Structure 1
Amino acid sequence: MLTLEPVYLLLGAFLLFGAVLDYRSRRRAMAVFWAILSLPFLAGDAILAAAREGSHWPAQAMGIGVIALGVMAALGGRRPSDDEAALEHTRRADAVRLGNRLFAPALLIPLVTLLVALAAQYGPPPVRALFEAKQSTLIALGIASVVAFAVAVRVTGAGVGAGLQEGNRLLDALGWAALLPMLLATLGSVFAATGVGDAIASLVAMVIPTDSRIACLLAFALGMVLFTAIMGNAFAAFPVLMAGIGLPLLVQRHGAHPAVLGSIGMLTGYCGTLLTPMAANFNIVPVVLLELPDQYAVIRAQLPTALVLLAVNIALLWLLAF
């Protein structure tokens, strides 16, 4: 059966490879950064097993590592490699030569992910038996990434080593922002487990008339946008707002359809993603990669779209959820 363990091992090996490259290039801080991050991917099962046996020092060591990552991210920026300027002309020439074929590997990732995920969920029993059901989508993404890398090597004519080096260059360009999606993905679960949703429900009941359907709907929609902007990810905001407003007020009191509320409510949260630098993978990373002079250029460009989408989503919730 396919599990996420090979995907984690590949990620850890790639991060460790990047750490070695950075160390050889005398970018010691980046080397330490990626080396620390590679450890939970490579030794996560061992750390979990040690914790179950009563030994807490591996988990404590990883906690210290997380603190170290935060301190390093706060202290310094990325130092470009010495040969970046010299390679820029070569990269531009390759881009002109390859043209639109460069998009093929990137487009393969969502396509292969979708096909593999559908096969894992709805394919013949022998195919479904190959995948761990709860992690089938992430496993599909891992398979798609490997396929896309192989196609990229084929399309560009570069070797595997060159592809890994370019991947490390991109990872160095992203720096600490590469961690943000992983950290934010866990934030919603942490908030929900600590009772933030209940606290929000109490505050909302004090501020708005809970007998008003439209007031509860606006509180839910605008809350999704606000919490997504604060936490940078609608996945982090969704469990908090559903626990605090969606389920007790809209579903149980006003009879909203849970599926409609959940799907459109999540989409409403992504209006906040368009407006926040906390969504670094969407709004800050492109600025870094494109070397734009205004670090908020992407957010400014997305602002009208976010406001229009928010209005449309509120209207859809009102028309379809009740």
Structure 2
Amino acid sequence: MLRLEYLYWLVGAFLIATALLNLRERNFSIAAFWLILSGPFVFGDAILAATKQGQSWPAQAMGIGVIALGLLAARGHLRIKADGPGEQELRNESAARLGNRLFGPALAIPALTVALFLAGKFMASRDIDLLDPKNLTLTALGLASVLALAAAFRVTHAKPIQSIHEGRRLLDSLGWAVLLPMILATLGGVFAATGVGDTIAALTSAVIPIDSRMACLLAFAFGMVFFTIIMGNAFAAFPVMMAGIGLPLLILKHDADPATLGAIGMLTGYCGTLLTPMAANFNIVPAVLLELPDQYGVIRSQIPTALTLMAVNILLMAVLVFR
């Protein structure tokens, strides 16, 4: 059975290879960054087992690692030099030769993920566990990525070692921004555990007329957008706003439909994703990959779409949530 841990080990091995390549070129800061990051991927099982046994060192080690990553990122030495004219010209020639065939492996990832997920569900119903049934979606995505990489080798006729060098170049180009999705996704749980939702509920009750369901709905919608802009991730904003406004005021007080509120509320939060540089994987990374002269150009082009979608989502919630 393909377990999720195997894919984590593969990611860890790639991070270690990236660190060693940077170390060979004396890029010590970025080598240390990727080497520290590889730790949880490679030793995740051991860390989890030790934590369940009541040992404190895993939390302490992870805390030290996070501080070290922050210090390395703050030094500003996590960027590599730009490609030389020869390298850029060679890359352009290769892209022109391959044309739209380059999109095949990339498009294969979502298609294969869906196919493997459905196949995994079918096999699990017949007690055939070829994919990890507890983490079927992530396992399907990881296996789809490996199969897409094999397809890329066939399309480009490149050697496997080149994938490591090109992956390293891409990873180094993105730098610390690679971590933002993982870090920001944890903020919602942290905020909810520390009582931020209760504080928001108290502030909301003091500022708006909570007997008005539309006032509560607008506070929830704008709160989702605002917190998403701050945290860069609607998943992080959702538990905070649901605990502070959605559950106590809309669902319990005004009998809002939880499923409709949750679904459209998340979409409303993603309007904030379009407006913030904190959502680096959506708004900053594409600017880096496309080498745009304006790193905030993606955000500026998305502002009309974000505002329009936010207005539409609020209207949909007003019509559907209280039915």
Give the TM-score, by structure 2 length.
0.94
Q: Are 1:19 and 1:35, in contact at CA under 8 Å, matched by a contact in 2? A: yes
Q: How does 1:1-322 map to 2 (within 5 A)?
A: 1-81=1-81, 84-121=84-121, 125-126=125-126, 129-322=129-322
Greater alpha carbon shift after TM alignment, 303-312 vs 58-67: 58-67
RMSD value, Cα: 1.7
Per-residue CA deviation, residues 139-194 of structure 1 (Å, 9 max, x unaligned), is: 11111111111111111110111011101100000000000001011111111112
Aligned partners of 1:232, 1:248: CA distance in 2, in Å? 25
Change (3 A) 1:82 1:280: closer
Q: Are 1:119 and 1:128, in contact at CA under 8 Å, matched by a contact in 2? A: no
- Identity %, equivalent residues: 64
Change (3 A) 1:87 1:127: farther
Aligned partners of 2:115, 2:63: CA distance in 1, in Å? 37
Gapped regions of structure 2 (runs ≥ 5): none
Aligned partners of 1:263, 1:118: CA distance in 2, in Å? 23
Alignment-mate amino acid for residue 32 of structure 1? A
How far the C-alpha of 1:232 sits from its partner, in A, is 0.3
Greater alpha carbon shift after TM alignment, 227-236 vs 104-113: 104-113
Alignment-mate amino acid for residue 26 of structure 1? R
Change (3 A) 1:64 1:124: closer
Change (3 A) 1:40 1:199: same
Alignment-mate amino acid for residue 201 of structure 1? A
Aligned partners of 2:311, 2:33: CA distance in 1, in Å? 42
Per-residue CA deviation, residues 23-74 of structure 1 (Å, 9 max, x unaligned), is: 1122111111100000110011112222333433343223111101001111
Change (3 A) 1:195 1:122: farther
How many residues were matched structurally?
322
Alignment-mate amino acid for residue 207 of structure 1? V
Q: Are 2:123 and 2:130, in contact at CA under 8 Å, matched by a contact in 1? A: no
Aligned partners of 1:232, 1:321: CA distance in 2, in Å? 26
Per-residue CA deviation, residues 99-156 of structure 1 (Å, 9 max, x unaligned), is: 0111111111111122222333466613674444442211111111111111111111
Change (3 A) 1:46 1:85: farther
Q: Specify the SS of the correspondent of 1:197.
A: helix
Give the TM-score, by structure 1 length.
0.95
Change (3 A) 1:304 1:118: same
Aligned partners of 1:126, 1:5: CA distance in 2, in Å? 23
